[in-house]
Amino acid sequence: MKAENIIAKKVRILLTGGGSGGHIYPLLAVAEELQGLAQERRLNLVLEYIGPKDEYGRLLGSENVAMSYISAGKIRRYLSIENVFDIVKFLTGFLQALAKVFLSMPDVIFSKGGTGALPVVIAGWFYRIPVVIHESDAVPGLTNLLSSRFTARIAVSFERALNYFNPKKVAWIGTPIRKWLLAERPTKEEAKEELGFNPKEPLLLILGGSQGSERINEFIVSNLENLVKETQVLHQTGRANLAEVERLSRAALINIPAKKESKTRYQAVPYFEENVKTAFAAADLIVARAGSGTISEISAFGKPAVLIPLRESAGDHQRINAYEFVKGGGGVVIEEANLLPGIFLNQIKSIIKNTELLDKMSQASGKFFKPGAAEILAREILKLAGQ
CATH code where residue 271 lies? 3.40.50.2000
Tell whether 199 and 65 lie within a shared domain: no
For residue 223, the enclosing domain spans 181-368
Higher-pLDDT residue of 219, 252: 219
Torsion region of 189: left, alpha or beta (phi above 0 gives left; psi -120 to 50 gives alpha) = alpha
Q: How many domains, the chain? A: 2
C-alpha span between 16 and 109 (Å, rounded): 8
Does residue 204 surpass a pLDDT of 50? yes
Question: For the chain, how far is it from start to end, CA to CA, in angstroms?
Answer: 22
**What local confidence, expressed as pLDDT, does residue 61 receive?**
76
Question: pLDDT tens digits for 20-75?
Answer: 777 788 999 999 999 999 999 999 999 999 988 877 667 787 778 999 999 876 66
Same domain, 190 and 334: yes
Give the pTM. 0.88
Mean pLDDT of 232-243: 84
Helix (H) / strand (E) element for 269: namely strand 266-269
Q: Is the pLDDT of residue 76 over 70?
A: no
Residue 257 clears pLDDT 70, i.e. is over it: no
Q: What pLDDT score was predicted for residue 63?
A: 79
Interval 140-189: pLDDT, tens: 988 899 999 999 999 999 999 999 999 999 999 999 998 888 888 899 99
Q: Are residues 342 and 376 in the same domain?
A: no
- Residues 196 and 54 grouped into a single domain: no
Question: Lowest-confidence range among 71-75, 291-295, 297-301?
Answer: 71-75
Please report, rounded to a whole number, the percentage of residues in the chain having pLDDT higher than 70: 90
Residues 333 and 186 in one domain: yes
Same domain, 138 and 277: no
Let me know whether 58 and 97 are in one domain.
yes
- Considering the domain architecture, whether residues 233 and 356 belong to the same structural domain is answered as yes
Cβ within 8 Å of residue 194, ≥6 positions away: 186, 278, 282
Based on the domain organization, do 147 and 192 belong to the same domain?
no
If pLDDT is split at 50, 70 and 90, which confidence band does 239 have?
Answer: confident
Is 108 in the same domain as 218?
A: no
In terms of phi and psi (left: phi > 0; alpha: psi -120 to 50; beta: otherwise), the region of 305 is beta
| Domain identity same for 105 and 203 | no
242 pLDDT higher than 80: no
In this structure, are 187 and 163 located in the same domain?
no
The conformation of residue 332, written as its DSSP 8-state character, comes to E
